[in-house]
Structures are given as structure tokens and as C-alpha cells.
Structure 1
Amino acid sequence: MAKNIDLKAIDLNSLYQQGKPVQLGIAGGVIVVILVLAYFFVYSGLNEQLSQLKQEEETLKQTYTEKSGQAAHLDALKAELDSINGSFNSLLKQLPTQAEIPNLIQELHECATKNGLSMDSVTPSQAQNTDSGNKAEQQVIQTLPYNITLTGNYNQISQFMRDVGKLSRIVTLNAIVLKRNDKDNTLTLNAVANTYKALTDAEIKAQTDDKKS
């Protein structure tokens, strides 16, 4: 039977003089201590790296899922964008050019006359760019307001407003005020007839230059 080794009684300076069991026991103990320390140092570092890699994996999975969903809807979004662009271009074609403005005013007169109304006045007001609410955006459409006054009965005025909505070019009636004339029981309509004009490239460029200055 092997004798118990008293580690306190061992002199490290005379370790080489000790017997083989003592030397092997001390060497084994040192190796065990080194392995334990190495295990804790290495394992703790690897465990931290593993946690980071797992977190990165989850993030990549989430990003992949989001990108996959976007890619799946890409064709639908492109089709929707093409449809919006088509509708916008169609609306632009309904806007009068500068040369067509006089004809448009003439059409307003004809609508009034056809319905038995008296067109008392058509006065152009100050043109203004359509405001999108974002001052940084370029305005591509200009509003051309006309103050109009006409007189007639209720049915005539109602039909006039319906006919204006059917014009080939876009015209909207705003700021409508109706007043009754006590003398002949007719109505006077005061309104702002807005039509819209697409700005030319030169006008858009001038608008951009004004913002820079």
C-alpha cells in the first residue's frame, strides 16, 4: 500500500531527491491545476463568443426574413408604382397648357350661357404653386385661380356646377358663396374657379434656383 504524501513536508529545493511517487503526485497535481485553470479561462471566453454568435445569428435570421418579405412583394410594388405613374401622367394631360387657358375661360362662359346664367365677371387671381406641405419638394403643378360671379336661379347654378365638373380640363370651384337677390328672387354665385397647369422644365428650374438663393 502506498504511503500518504505529506505535501507540507516536501522541500521544493530537494524535490529531485524525492521518490518517484512523490514526484509523480506533485506533477499530477500541477497538471490538474493547470488544466482546471485553462478550462475556466478558455471556456468562459468561448462561452461569451458563442453567445455573441447566437445573437448575431438571430439578427441575421430576422434581417433575412424582412428582406425575403420585401423581395416577395417587389413585383407588386413595381406594378403599383407603374399604375401611380400612369394615373399621374393621365392627370397631367388633363391640365391645360398656357395657350389653352383662354379657351378654358371661354368654356366657363359657354357653360353659364347654356344654362341661362348671366356671367357677371371672370377675374384672374394670383397664380400659386400647389403646396404639398414639404417645402423641400419641387412643385410641378401651378394653380390658376379665377374669381367668377354669375346670376341665375338655383337649378341653373346647380347644373352649371355639374357641367364644370365634366369639362375636358380639370376645373374646381372653391370658396363658393350664394346670395339671394330680394328684388327678382335670383341667386348670385361668387366662387373661385381653379384650374391647374403643369410647370415647364424652365419654370421648375427657376423655382429651384429661387430656393437656393
Structure 2
Amino acid sequence: MKLNFDIKVLKKIDLNKVPRWAKYTIMFGVPTVVLVLFFFMGYQPKSEEIKKLKKVVAQQQSEIEKAETKLRKLPELKKRYEEVKGEYEALKRQLPEEKEITNLLKEVSDLALGSELSIKLWKPGKKKLHQSNIVYEIPVRVEMLGSYHRLGQFFSALTDLDRIINISNIKMEKPKTQGREAILSISFDAKTFTAVPEEELKKMKAKKKKGRRKRRRR
């Protein structure tokens, strides 16, 4: 805002003839008006603008700090990714392909027979997707007869297999004496795993992604 004053007009005014109240008005009123005009037309807008800019600067500084933190952690994250990837590949090598499952189960059965155990039940179950969504579980319910020593040999041989075999729900009945050996009946669940084929993984991921989009639209 630009104010224009004519100094000649001011010189023509006889201050002695100006009433006292007018003098006080000029002395205190004019500076007050100037200050008010300065506050509302200059200082306040600039102050609000400065506050907004400070807020923007603070936000940008926060984003920069977060980005710098991520950049500092990037080498560590890459290293961890490679480690996990290596662990996954090593684990995957221990998982038989689906076409190998029959041979693996036969190998386990042969181990039992080789340990001179009598197989009473060998019942493969249906494969089901593991909660990890990257492998299938293939269970087998097993019942067999044998001595403590023979059973120990069998379970020891299982641990030497290259493939993963989990044993759970082991139940043993009271042993019965046959000749010089104590024969017991044992039942358990054997479980092996096979990796989900890459094509199936892609389909599952696409289906999951599609489901998320539908939920968002609702």
C-alpha cells in the first residue's frame, strides 16, 4: 500500500490554532493507525506465510531424514536379502519335487523294512498348502512293529536323508516279549514337503492381489 502526502499542505497548517484534542489525535492516532496497517497489511500475512513455510521445511526435513536412514540401511537390507535368499534356495533343494514324492515315500518304506520293522499301516494323505504358502505338506500315517533297537535304527536313518521328513504324534503301546526281544507297536505321522511350482505361486499371488482390490472397492 502506497501513501502519498503533500508536504506543502502540512506547512500551511498553523499548529498553534489546532485544538489540543486534535494534536493528541495526531500524536497518538497516526502512529497507531500506521502500526495497525503495518500489522494487518504487512506483518501478519508475512508471519502466516513464514509459519506455513516452516511447517513445509520441517516436513521435508523429516522426509529427508527418513530417506537418509533408509539409504544407510540399504546395504544391510541387501545383505540380509541375499542371506535369506540363500537359505531359501538351500531349503528348496531339500524339498522333493512332486514327481519325486512317490520315490521318497518308497525310500522311507524301504528304510523301515531294512531295519526289520513290520509295517502294519502306510496311509498317505492328501497334500495341503502349508501356512507359508510356498510349500505343500504331504502326510503319511504309519503304524509298525519292532524292537526298540530296530526302531532306533529306523529313525536314525530318517535323519540322514537329504530330504526333509518330519515325524509327529508318536504313540507307543506297551511292549510284548517275543523270544529275547521286547516288541512294541508304534504309530506316528510322517510328513514331507514339496515346493509349490512357480506357476502356481504366480497364480496365487495374482488371486490374492485381485481379492485386495475387490475389498478396497467396497
Q: Common fold, TM-score beyond 0.5?
A: yes
Letter in 2 for 1:40: F
Cα distance between partner residues in 2 of 1:94 and 1:79: 23
Q: Match for 2:194 among 168, 179, 197?
A: 197
The change in CA–CA distance for 1:209 and 1:32 in structure 2 (over 3 A counts) is closer
Choose the corresponding residue for 1:19, options 14, 25, 47: 14
Alpha-carbon distance in structure 2 between the residues aligned to 1:83 and 1:176: 35
- Match of 1:62, as an amino acid? S
Q: Deviations over 1:48-81 (max 9, x none)?
A: 3333333333333232222211101101101211
**Structure 2 unmatched ranges of 5 or more:** 1-9, 212-218
**Structure 1 unmatched ranges of 5 or more:** 1-14, 133-138
For residue 57 of structure 2, what is the amino acid of its counterpart? E
Paired position in structure 2 for 1:135: none
Compute the displacement of 1:104 (Å).
Answer: 0.9
Shift of 1:176: 1.6
**Once the 2 structures are TM-superposed, how far is the Cα of residue 35 of structure 1 from its aligned partner?**
1.8
* Equivalent residue in structure 1 for 2:168, among 174, 180, 193: 174
Question: In the alignment, which residue of structure 1 is the partner of 2:7?
Answer: none
Matched, 1:60 2:74: no
Which residue identity lines up with residue 169 of structure 1 in the other structure?
R
Show the counterpart of 2:5.
none
TM-score (norm 1): 0.73
Q: Deviation string for 1:140-174 (max 9, x for gaps)?
A: 31111111112222333233223212211111112
Distance, in Å, in 2 between the alignment partners of 1:84 and 1:91 is 10
Q: CA deviation at 1:110?
A: 2.9
2:214 maps to which residue?
none
- What CA distance in whole angstroms lies between the structure 1 residues aligned with 2:52 and 2:206? 52
8 Å Cα contact 1:165-1:172 kept in structure 2: no
The answer to whether 1:90 aligns with 2:84 is no
Q: Are positions 1:143 and 2:140 aligned together?
A: no
The equivalent of 1:160 in structure 2 is 154
Cα distance between partner residues in 2 of 1:64 and 1:207: 37
- The equivalent residue for 2:73 is 73
| TM-score, length-scaled by structure 2 | 0.72
Q: Could you say which residue in structure 2 is the equivalent of 1:123?
A: 123
User: What is the CA RMSD across the aligned residues, in angstroms?
Assistant: 3.3
CA distance in 2, matches of 1:28, 1:118: 118
Q: Determine helix, strand or coil for the equivalent of 1:189.
A: strand
Residue identity in the other structure for 2:38: Y
> Percent of aligned positions with the same letter in both sequences?
23
